[in-house]
Amino acid sequence: MADKIILEVARYSPEQDTKPCFATYEVPVHKEWVVLDALNYIKDKVDGSLTYRWSCRMGICGSCGMMVNGEPKLTCATFLSSYAHNGNKIRVEPLRYFPVVRDLVTELSDFLVKLKKVKPWLIRKDTVPLSQGEFLQTPEQLDYYKQFSMCINCTLCYSACPVVGLDPKFVGPAAIALAQRYNLDSRDQGAVERIAVLAHPEGIWGCTFVGECTKVCPKHVDPAGAIQQYKLNAVLDWLTSFLMPRGHNSQDVKP
Amino acid sequence: MRQEIVKAAPAYTEFHPRWYRAPVSVYWWLGQWRYLKFILRELSSLFVASFVVITLLQVRALRNGPEAYSRFQHWLQSPWMIALNLVSFLFVVFHTITWFNLAPRAMPIWVRGKRLPEFLVAAPNYAIWLVASVVIAWFVLR
Ligand code: FES
């Protein structure tokens, strides 16, 4: 294996640059090094002004997402060695479709606003007295939504989705998957409240099923699946409301 | 000089002065097979539509009697119609495979608290497809 690798890193300084350019760094390759280690090496040894986000170094916090050779990746989970064959060059850019604050740091407030819009929390219609205790849930009921609850908000799926790039108002994969996580939770009663945002041209109907969101998800959340499930239920809901105008909501599909 | 730099800087936005927003190229789908594949699948709808039109024309020819129908058949045998049908066929197969593979994810089936494995949901679709194709082939080639 080559013991050096070339990193082409996107640099953008809002005070000086009108658009990003690439800086090239030579980095030693250690067998166990990931792309994030290489960035840390550059920051420690070569250029302390390189700016990027990271925290946990173990695929939990979701803050180290970047484009690695054009693919959205968690840089703490992307080994240098898997690129050693590629002419020994790795191109690192900020996540696509997000505004860039500096170097590899993207601006996330647009995503956070969208996330809040789908109300990703437990909504109760009734008020149950505290004395009744907690809402119990069986392991089966947990399994029903667990996959969608694994999202770490790393936004890789937004960078994989061309609809996000072409229609800035599209709610996007992670937010819809998280809405579905609560819709499927036996303790939640908020599915009806989420319909307005989800069953909307900028919600699920904005999705054209490219399917890349699911492929890049480091947590196997399958946002594309969540969206298609919701589409199917929305159509059924529309059909039944057509046939039985009163009292039906098939978005409430919990066990 | 300083003046120039400030002028050339990206426009100020509501929240932050100088974010850089990369423009999305019209050709974003070129160059990466996964996105090209998506565009091809979208394009396939045109060919699916052509199938529908051909079928409608066939029904019309059938209604207009044997002579019209043999004229229609003759038209179908022209090389460019065969080419069109071949391309349409490939696109429809591509389309079908996409949606059959999607079925288990769009319609998770839970049996006694366990989600059915994906292939168990997809397989019946393929099985029905195969049986239907064989039955139709038997009728046509008989
Ligand atoms: S540093 Fe936390 S996910 Fe990579």
Q: What is the mean pLDDT of residues B99-128?
A: 90
Mutate to test the pocket of ligand 1, among A40, A61, A153, A216 (most ligand atoms within 8 A of CB): A61
Q: For position A179, what pLDDT does the model report? A: 96
Q: For position B12, what pLDDT does the model report? A: 45
| Contact B113/A at CB under 8 A | yes
The per-residue pLDDT of chain A, averaged, comes to 91
What separation in Å is there between the alpha carbon of A78 and the centre of ligand 1?
Answer: 11
Q: For residues A37-71, b (16+ Cβ closer than 10 Å) or e, as one string?
A: bbbbbbeeeeeeebbbbbeeeeeebbbbbbbbeeb
More confident position, B123 or A86: B123
CATH of the domain at B82: 1.20.1300.10
pTM for this one?
A: 0.87
The per-residue pLDDT of chain B, averaged, comes to 86
Rounded Cα gap, residues A110 and A118, in angstroms: 13
Rounded Cα gap, residues A1 and A31, in angstroms: 9
Contacts of B102 in chain A (CB under 8 A): 209, 211, 228
Q: Is the pLDDT of residue B9 over 50?
A: no
Report the range of poorest mean pLDDT among A43-47, A152-156, B87-91.
B87-91
A109-252 belongs to CATH 3.90.226.10: no
Q: For position B16, what pLDDT does the model report? A: 57
Whether residue B42 is contained in a domain is answered as: yes
Domains of chain B: total: 1
For residues A175 and A111, is the Cβ–Cβ distance under 8 A? yes
Q: Is the pLDDT of residue A122 over 90?
A: yes
Q: How many CA atoms lie within 13 A of A193 on its CB side?
A: 16
Rounded Cα gap, residues A38 and A80, in angstroms: 8
Q: For position B138, what pLDDT does the model report? A: 95
What percentage of chain B reaches a pLDDT higher than 90? 59
In this predicted model, what pLDDT tens digit does every residue of A55-99 receive, in sequence order?
999 999 999 999 999 999 999 999 998 887 756 889 999 999 999
Whether residue B3 is contained in a domain is answered as: no
List chain A domain ranges. Answer: 4-106, 109-252
- Domain limits at B28? 24-88
Q: For position A142, what pLDDT does the model report? A: 95
Nearest to A14 among B15, B18, B102 (CB): B18
Whether residue B71 is contained in a domain is answered as: yes
Q: What is the mean pLDDT of residues B100-126?
A: 90
Whether residue B39 is contained in a domain is answered as: yes
In this predicted model, what pLDDT tens digit does every residue of A145-202 receive, in sequence order?
999 999 999 999 999 999 999 998 999 999 999 999 999 999 999 999 999 899 999 9
* Domain A4-106: assigned CATH number: 3.10.20.30
